[in-house]
């Protein structure tokens, strides 16, 4: 007989076909739910009294159905834990076209990621607990599309002091990360976006999917060619002025001036992507462009590099004219970013736990950057963009290994890297390998560097072989 578990508390949706009787219908529905995997092995079923009430059946009917399925092996009666599902779902009923699992590389030196294993779990837990305890009741309901006032106030202070941003809490909109902010701006502004090339292909594609036009803005050793903007007829221009992605230089002062002149004359919007501003090693920090032209710049930042991309929390500091339209677009898309993470982040910033975590991370990434530089010193490559950020660009000189040689050698060593040609839509004039040193946990970094040096050595061999 089924155990009388007091009340398992689970809701159970069952489609009852009672043509052959109530008990048979219930047995059939339970059997089907177990077979299909809708009820996973180990799931505790509701007590017979509860299920009988929910389905409008007699308790004896439910008990009899449970007993039958226990006899058939679908369910099991467990002392102290009621009736549980005993059978794994049948393979035949599993969906046949399950998505292929994403293959994890053995060594991951792709750019764009931070060390997820370094997430400050204890500090976040403490901030979350404190934030939840003191959260006002309205934090648990719908709120301002711009985000929680606590976080907007904390960010106004932090961005002003750490990045030279001129931010009032009213002009800040909390987003689900940089990409989300960019798509909101594309929704509101539409028209044509000039975007740095090389840049992030996903970002270009996202803007195009909104229906805006994307034109490439070339990049050279001084950063984005903002001197070309006057001829481009753009409504907005997206730049990474503190650390061009992926080539590395800060935007040259002449180019900063050209950009600001363009915005002043055309009324166009500068979208400032400050994605990894916190990580500067041996060069002076470059203050945010927004600080000198708050009416022309939408400043966008993110926690993806500082805490981890899993949080999906970012921010925009907007020119006043864009605040209402962006908030309106947000409201009609998804109301706002979830509140509880925002409250935890506000607490972390206010108690300087965010600064402390960034300082520790900066030391870690600096150490890794130096190790990388030492390990690649003997190779005929030009390692650039290493003064800041979480990645470096190894330019491959003509006559040496090509990107394709490196890719072939990397595959042999189970190593994932980024490649310059994949990040550009313009004719490729340079070949380069983008090496992200953020992603691996500390314990895996040394072996990733071994794989990297073996890859460059292998690529050299391949290049020599082809030339002979």
Ligand X SMILES: Cc1ncc(COP(=O)(O)O)c(C=O)c1O
Which residues sit at the interface with ligand X, rule CB under 6 A?
112, 177-179, 200, 240, 245, 273, 275, 302, 304, 309, 314
* CA pair distance 306, 66, nearest whole angstrom: 52
| Cβ neighbours of 370 (radius 10 Å) | 14
Query: What pairing do the DSSP bridges indicate for beta strands 192-197 and 236-239?
Result: parallel
* CA pair distance 333, 405, nearest whole angstrom: 45
Q: How far is the CB of 112 from ligand X (least distance, A)?
A: 3
Nearer to ligand X (CB atom), residue 158 or residue 275: 275
Query: 324 to each of 160, 173, 175, 327, 329, how far by Cα in Å?
Result: 22, 10, 15, 5, 9
Nearer to ligand X (CB atom), residue 308 or residue 319: 308
**What would the two tokens of residue 60 be?**
């004896």
Nearer to ligand X (CB atom), residue 76 or residue 394: 394
- In terms of phi and psi (left: phi > 0; alpha: psi -120 to 50; beta: otherwise), the region of 308 is left
Q: How far is the CB of 202 from ligand X (least distance, A)?
A: 9
Nearer to ligand X (CB atom), residue 25 or residue 112: 112
Name the strands in the sheet holding 192-197, side by side, starting at the edge strand that comes first in the sequence. Answer: 172-175, 314-317, 297-302, 269-273, 236-239, 192-197, 213-220, 223-224
Nearer to ligand X (CB atom), residue 178 or residue 193: 178
Nearer to ligand X (CB atom), residue 390 or residue 463: 390
Nearer to ligand X (CB atom), residue 171 or residue 304: 304
Q: How far is the CB of 299 from ligand X (least distance, A)?
A: 13
The alpha carbon of residue 135 and the mean position of all alpha carbons in its chain are separated, in whole angstroms, by 26
Query: What pairing do the DSSP bridges indicate for beta strands 314-317 and 297-302?
Result: antiparallel
**For 314, how many CA atoms within 13 A lie in the half-sphere containing its CB?**
25
* CA pair distance 232, 144, nearest whole angstrom: 37
Q: How far is the CB of 43 from ligand X (least distance, A)?
A: 35
**What would the two tokens of residue 454 be?**
């073996």
Q: How far is the CB of 335 from ligand X (least distance, A)?
A: 19
| Cβ neighbours of 286 (radius 10 Å) | 19
Nearer to ligand X (CB atom), residue 83 or residue 240: 240
Nearer to ligand X (CB atom), residue 112 or residue 268: 112
| Cβ neighbours of 441 (radius 10 Å) | 12
Among 340, 410, 328, 427, residue whose Cα is nearest residue 131 = 340
Q: How far is the CB of 436 from ligand X (least distance, A)?
A: 9
181 contacts 316 by C-beta, under 8 angstroms: yes
Q: How far is the CB of 199 from ligand X (least distance, A)?
A: 7
DSSP state, residue 394: E
Q: How far is the CB of 271 from ligand X (least distance, A)?
A: 11
* CA pair distance 299, 290, nearest whole angstrom: 6
């Amino acid at each position: 007989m089924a155990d009388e578990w007091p009340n398992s508390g689970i809701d159970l949706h069952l489609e009852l076909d009672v043509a052959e009787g109530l008990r048979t219908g219930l047995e059939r529905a339970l059997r089907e739910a177990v077979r299909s995997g809708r009820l996973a092995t180990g799931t505790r079923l509701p007590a017979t009294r509860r299920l009988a009430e929910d389905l409008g059946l007699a308790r004896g009917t439910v008990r009899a159905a449970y007993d039958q399925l226990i006899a058939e092996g679908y369910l099991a009666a467990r002392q102290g834990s009621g009736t549980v599902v005993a059978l794994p779902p049948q393979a035949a009923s599993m969906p046949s076209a399950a998505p292929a699992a994403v293959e994890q590389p053995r060594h991951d030196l792709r750019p764009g990621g931070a060390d997820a294993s370094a997430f400050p779990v204890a500090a976040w837990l403490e901030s979350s607990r404190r934030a939840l305890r003191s959260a006002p009741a309205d934090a648990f309901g719908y709120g301002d599309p711009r985000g929680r006032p606590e976080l907007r106030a904390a960010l106004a202070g932090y961005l002003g002091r750490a990045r030279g941003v001129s931010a009032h809490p009213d002009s800040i909109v909390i987003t689900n990360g940089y990409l989300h902010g960019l798509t909101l701006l594309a929704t509101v502004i539409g028209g044509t976006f000039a975007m740095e090339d090389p840049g992030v292909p996903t970002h270009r594609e996202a803007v195009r999917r909104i229906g805006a036009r994307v034109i490439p803005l070339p990049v050279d050793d001084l950063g984005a060619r903002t001197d070309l903007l006057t001829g481009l007829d753009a409504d907005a221009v997206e730049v990474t002025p503190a650390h061009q992605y992926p080539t590395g230089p800060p935007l040259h002062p002449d180019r900063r001036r050209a950009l600001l002149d363009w915005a002043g004359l055309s009324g166009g919007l500068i979208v400032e992507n400050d994605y990894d501003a916190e990580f500067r090693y041996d060069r002076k920090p470059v203050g945010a462009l927004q600080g000198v032209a708050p009416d022309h710049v939408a400043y966008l930042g993110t926690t993806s590099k500082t805490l981890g991309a899993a949080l999906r929390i970012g921010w925009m500091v907007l020119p006043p004219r864009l605040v209402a339209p962006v908030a309106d677009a947000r409201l009609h898309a998804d109301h706002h970013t979830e509140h509880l993470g925002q409250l935890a982040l506000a607490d972390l910033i206010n108690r300087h736990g965010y600064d402390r975590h960034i300082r520790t991370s900066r030391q870690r990434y600096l150490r890794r950057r130096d190790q990388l530089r030492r390990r690649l010193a003997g190779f005929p490559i030009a390692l650039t963009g290493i003064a800041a950020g979480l990645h470096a660009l190894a330019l491959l000189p003509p006559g040496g290994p090509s990107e394709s040689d490196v890719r072939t050698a990397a595959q042999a060593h189970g190593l994932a890297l980024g490649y310059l040609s994949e990040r550009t839509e313009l004719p490729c004039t340079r070949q380069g390998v983008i090496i992200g040193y953020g992603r691996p946990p500390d314990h895996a970094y040394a072996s990733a560097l071994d794989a990297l040096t073996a890859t460059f050595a292998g690529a050299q061999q391949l290049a020599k072989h082809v030339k002979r």
